[in-house]
A and B are shown apart, each in its own frame.
Chain A
Amino acid sequence: MQPSADSCEACTPGMDVMRSGHTACPGCGQAISMRLVLRAIGAKAIVVTVPSCVSVIAGPFPYAVANVPYYHAAFEVAAASAAGISNALKIQEKQDIPVLAFAGDGGTFDIGLQSLSGAADRNEDFIYVCYDNEGYMNTGIQVSSATPTHAWTGTTPTGNTRRKKQIMEIMAAHRIPYAATASIGFPEDLMQKIQKARDIRGTRFIHLLSPCNTGWKIPENMAPKVSTLAVETNIFPLYEITDGLHYQINYMSKGLPVEEYLSVQGRYAHLTPEQIKSIQTETDRAWRDLKQKSGGQS
Chain B
Amino acid sequence: MKQFITGNHSVAEAARRCRPGIVAAYPITPQTPIYEKLSEMEASGELGGIMMRMESEHSSMAACISASLTGARTFTATSSQGLALMHEMLHFASGARTAIVMACVNRTLALPWAFWSDQTDTLSQRDTGWMQIYVEHNQEALDSVIQAFRIAEQVLLPCMVVLEANFISHFMEPVDVPSQEDVDSFLPEVNLPRRFDIDNPSYVAGVVSQSQYRDFKQLSQEAMYVAQETAEKVDQEFGSFFGRSYGLVEAQDLADAELVLVTSATITSTARVALRQLREKDHKIGLVKIRLFRPFPTEHVRKLLDPVSKIAVIDRNISLGREGIFCAEVKAALCNSPVKKQIQGYLAGIGGTDVDVDLIQRIVLDALSRDAFLDRPIWMKEE
A binding-site residues for B, Cβ under 8 Å: 43-46, 48, 55-56, 58-64, 66-74, 76-77, 79-85, 87-92, 97, 114-115, 117-119, 121-122
Contacts and interface: CB of A to CB of B under 8 A. Distances in A.
Contact of B72 (A61, A80, A88, A119): A88
B328 to A, nearest CB: 30
B192 to A, nearest CB: 10
The interface centre, meaning the residue of B50, B64, B72 with most chain A CB atoms within 10 A of its CB, is B72
B206 to A, nearest CB: 3
Chain B interface residue count: which class?
A: 35 or more
B209 A69 contact: no
10 contacts: A58-B207, A67-B201, A71-B196, A74-B88, A74-B89, A80-B66, A85-B69, A91-B72, A92-B70, A115-B62
Contacts of A84: 22, 24, 52, 62-67, 70
Contact of A80 (B59, B88, B201, B209): B59
Nearest to A98: B198
Which of A56, A61, A63, A97 has its CB near the most chain B CB atoms (within 10 A)? A61
A118 B205 contact: no
A58 B203 CA distance: 9
Interface string B34-58: 0000000000000001101111101
A83 B52 contact: yes
Given A91-B72, A114-B59, A80 B204 contact: no
B63 to A, nearest CB: 3
Most A Cβ at <10 Å: residue of B22, B60, B196: B196
Contacts of A83: 52, 63, 66
Interface string B302-342: 00000000000000000000000000000000000000000
Interface in B14-32: 21-22, 24
B22 A91 contact: yes
Given A61-B205, A70-B201, A84-B24, 12 more contacts: A59-B206, A66-B201, A69-B201, A69-B202, A71-B69, A73-B92, A79-B59, A80-B58, A91-B50, A92-B70, A115-B56, A122-B52
A277 to B, nearest CB: 41
A56 B207 CA distance: 8
A73 to B, nearest CB: 7
Contacts of A89: 70
Nearest to A69: B196
Nearest to A71: B204
Contacts of A58: 203, 206-207
Given A43-B198, A91-B22, A61 B49 contact: no
Nearest to B209: A60
A61 B198 contact: no
Nearest to A51: B207
A59 B59 CA distance: 27
B283 interface: no
Given A69-B197, A122-B52, A64 B203 contact: yes
Given A71-B196, A92-B71, A118-B54, A80 B206 contact: no
Contact of A74 (B22, B62, B68): B62
The 3 closest A-B pairs by CB, nearest first: A118-B55, A61-B206, A84-B66
Nearest to B24: A84
A80 B62 contact: yes
A121 B55 contact: yes
B219 interface: no
A121 B54 CA distance: 10
A207 to B, nearest CB: 21
B198 A46 contact: yes
A55 B207 contact: yes
Contacts of B208: 60-61
A59 B203 CA distance: 10
B59 A115 contact: yes
Contacts of B185: none
Interface of chain A, helix or strand or loop or mixed?
mixed
B65 A88 contact: no
Nearest to A76: B58
B89 A88 contact: no
Given A45-B198, A67-B201, A115-B62, A80 B67 contact: no
Contacts of B88: 74
Contacts of A68: 198, 201
Contact of A70 (B59, B68, B89, B204): B204
Contacts of B72: 87-88, 91-92
A62 B206 contact: yes
Nearest to A46: B196
Contacts of A61: 203, 205-209, 212
Contact of A91 (B21, B55, B198): B21
B195 interface: yes
Contact of A71 (B66, B71, B197): B66
Contact of B196 (A76, A80, A85, A118): A85
Interface in B98-117: none
Nearest to B205: A72
Interface string B151-192: 000000000000000000000000000000000000000000
B15 to A, nearest CB: 15
Given A69-B197, A72-B206, A85 B66 contact: yes
A60 B213 CA distance: 12
A72 B206 CA distance: 7
A82 B59 CA distance: 11
Nearest to B207: A60
B198 A70 contact: no
B52 A87 contact: yes
A69 B199 CA distance: 9
A124 to B, nearest CB: 8
A116 to B, nearest CB: 10
A236 B72 CA distance: 41
Nearest to A56: B207
A83 B53 CA distance: 11
Contacts of A74: 62, 88-89, 92
A87 B50 contact: yes
Contacts of B201: 43, 64, 66-70
